[in-house]
Structure 1
Amino acid sequence: MPLGKDRLLPGLLTAALALAAAFGIHRLVPVLPAMTLAVVLGLLAANLPGTAVWVAGRARPGLDFAGKHLMRGGIVLLGLKVSIMDVLGLGWLALLLIAGVVAASFAGTYVISRLFRLPAQTSLLIATGFSICGASAIGAMAAVRRIRHVDTVLPVALVTLCGTLAIGVLPLLVQPLQLTPLAFGAWTGASVHDVGQVVATAQTAGTAALGIAVVVKLTRVLLLAPVVAAAGLHQRFSAARAAGKAAAAAAPGSLATPEPGRLPPVVPLFVLGFVAMVVLRSSGWLAPGILDAGAALQDILLGAALFGLGSAVRIRTLLHTGSRALLAALAAWLLIALLGLAAALLMTA
């Protein structure tokens, strides 16, 4: 049953106010990404006595709407940041290395999460977010695998935490590792989760580091579509196989062909929208003003979504049930940092 505007409005207005605060703090302290601040403000709103009742009550329908539907709009517009020409400009060796980092970090993070006895769906979302592009990738994977919105909250919190950790830790390692600005930028782009976190980390080493970091990161973002499509195909085949087994078990010996149930889409519509935006950006038809407006709108939609997701996290519950998840996330973060560093050194050698 669709939600009425009167039920959505309190939560959407709350998200808008929080987003204005996040952008304001980011303007004052540029090293703090606005998207990370949106999650942090959501966490605070969910756990401070003065606001917890509000975000769990009247504001909840609108915040849940933001976390799910505005997230999808943000993913579509994320495609406007990706130019295929910029990606190809890295060269085939770099592209193979980046694809290898994504594949190895996805598989490694999934295995680590399962070793820490996390549920398969949670492990899948953590692996997707860590290896590709943070919360946006988690939202896309949750849609294609039909994972409940509430089950995305913990993975988003973990990917935000570890991405924020990278902002503080990676720049401290430039001198000990004797990294050039290009190597540091490539490392940042290959291993940090969210685009905003990549910018905040790489800019500490100058414009050369920032330039290559953004292109490497957006190459990882481009892999969102094929990864989600592969997950969609797997989900579709699994659903069809399960339906066939159920029909066979219900009517043993029957020769009738079972009626197929409604199968999940191979690729959600909003992921196709993401691909369309990548094509548009790469065509060169869009004026810089349109691209800037698209980027600003994408930040607004994604920021509101992240505040909505953050406002669903209860710290007490997270500490009680999420200690294994936190350890798994930190181990995965270390794995991706090492894989990214190796790829960056090879790229810039």
Structure 2
Amino acid sequence: MLSAPRPRSAVFSTIAELAPGVLLCGAISLLAYALQWGEERLLGHGYVEALVFAILGGTVVRTLWTPGRAYAKGIVFSGKTLLEIAVMLLGASLSSAALAAAGAPLLAGVIGLVVLALALGYGVSRLLGLSPTMSVLVACGNAICGNSAIAAVASVIEADAEDIASSIAFTAILGVIVVLTLPVAAAVLQLNEVRYGALAGMTVYAVPQVLAATVPVGPVATQLGTLVKLVRVLALGPVVFGAALVRRLRANDGSAGPAPRASVWRFVPWFVVGFVALAVLRSLGGVPDAALGPIRVVTTVLTVLSMAALGLGVDLGQLRKVGARATAAVTLSILALAVMSYILVQHLPL
């Protein structure tokens, strides 16, 4: 009598589900590295990093072809989990220069910038005729961390699918545009590496986009930009908690439905905790200098993979589906954030 076939292990099943998407991101990443290598051979210098080529390559692929469901989990894994690991590893190489620059004035300035950007984003959106719910989503996405903030806040204020889709669609596309133009603008403005890192951390929407915007400039810009960005990410917890509290108070007044409970700690990402832990470990001498080289290589490779996944999430055709008022609100909000960030970094002791 034949025995029943043994079921595949959970690990093997997970690998099989992730493989198509991860391999697609890997193929785009290899092409990005090949383009960077060719650029260096032809021009003698890599003016465009593999990170940028990976974003552009993923965007082109996504615009010309929509990957099927078989690729979805691997793309999400590459764009989220691998990126989070890369961000965590950055803590191990956090330099003393970046730590010195991230003093109390900078951290206070970042917090103040988030509060001001929230108020300004909401006000601009309302002036353009967007609904209160849509205005909250645009303001949070612009001030904190793009799509992640939009999704988190939307779950608390019970935004409808159309508002969520509209606010996310153009935010994703505009985020890539900012990544590609910010280094050029910084060069024109003649910002040093420290000030540029602070500007990128204050302006760019998502953590992976901060890496894409700062790695070509230098390690200090990357470390400081990531640190500043993580401060903005941590603001998501209090903002979501506050949104839930306001909704609960309104519910008690009978003007809204029951508000879901929210915990601040639920919105403190694990990789932020890991980043801080590795930074402390590094400062205590727990990370040897010999390990920094391999860590940087792994971090760079994982980041390029995540950039390819980021590009695969950008469909330029979606621009047609975004309303003019929502587009104007997001655009004006990010421009105002960039101007405020530039003024702030110019007046901070960096």
TM-score under structure 1 normalisation? Answer: 0.68
Please tell me whether residue 271 in structure 1 is matched to residue 269 in structure 2.
yes
How far off is 1:186 after superposition?
6.9
Alignment of 1:1-349 (within 5 A): 4-26=14-36, 28=39, 30-48=46-64, 52-53=65-66, 55-80=67-92, 82=94, 86-113=98-125, 115-116=127-128, 127=139, 130-131=142-143, 137-138=145-146, 140-141=148-149, 144-145=152-153, 152=168, 154-174=170-190, 181=192, 185=196, 188-189=199-200, 191-193=202-204, 194-200=210-216, 211=220, 213-214=221-222, 216-234=224-242, 237=245, 263-268=261-266, 271-283=269-281, 284=283, 285-321=286-322, 323-348=324-349
Counterpart contact for 1:236–1:264, Cα < 8 Å: yes
Counterpart-to-counterpart distance in 1, 2:182 and 2:62: 25
Aligned residues: CA RMSD: 4.3
Q: 1:328: how far off?
A: 3.2
Unaligned 5+ segments in structure 1 are: 175-179, 204-209, 250-259
Quote the residue 1:254 is aligned against.
none
**Contact residue 140 and residue 271 of structure 1 kept, 8 A:** no
CA distance in 2, matches of 1:9, 1:120: 41
Kindly tell me the number of residue pairs found equivalent between the two proteins. 316
CA distance in 1, matches of 2:243, 2:34: 42
Tell me which amino acid in the other structure corresponds to 1:66.
S
Q: Deviations over 1:151-208 (max 9, x none)?
A: 755423221212312222332344xxxxx747964774465421331354x56xxxxx
Give structure 2 stretches of 5+ with no counterpart.
1-9, 41-45, 156-160, 205-209
Cα distance between partner residues in 2 of 1:140 and 1:163: 17
Distance in structure 2 (CA, Å) of the matches to 1:146 and 1:74? 27
* Distance in 1, Cα, partners of 2:342 & 2:80: 33
| Residues 35-44 or 292-301, more deviating | 292-301
- The normalised TM-score by structure 2 is 0.68
Matches of 2:92 and 2:130, distance apart in 1 = 34
State how far apart, in whole Å, the 2-side matches of 1:291 and 1:121 are.
45
For residues 141 and 49 of structure 2, what CA distance do their matches in structure 1 show? Answer: 17
Q: 1:62 to 1:232 in 2, by over 3 A?
A: same
Contact 1:191 1:340 in 2 (8 A): yes
Q: Report the residue type matching 1:336 in the other structure.
A: L
**Percent identity over paired residues:** 18
Over 3 Å counting, the alpha-carbon distance change for 1:94 and 1:261 in structure 2 is closer
Contact kept in structure 2, 1:76 and 1:271, CA below 8 Å = no
Q: Identify if the C-alpha distance between structure 1 residues 313 and 100 changes in structure 2 by more than 3 Å, giving closer, same or farther.
A: same
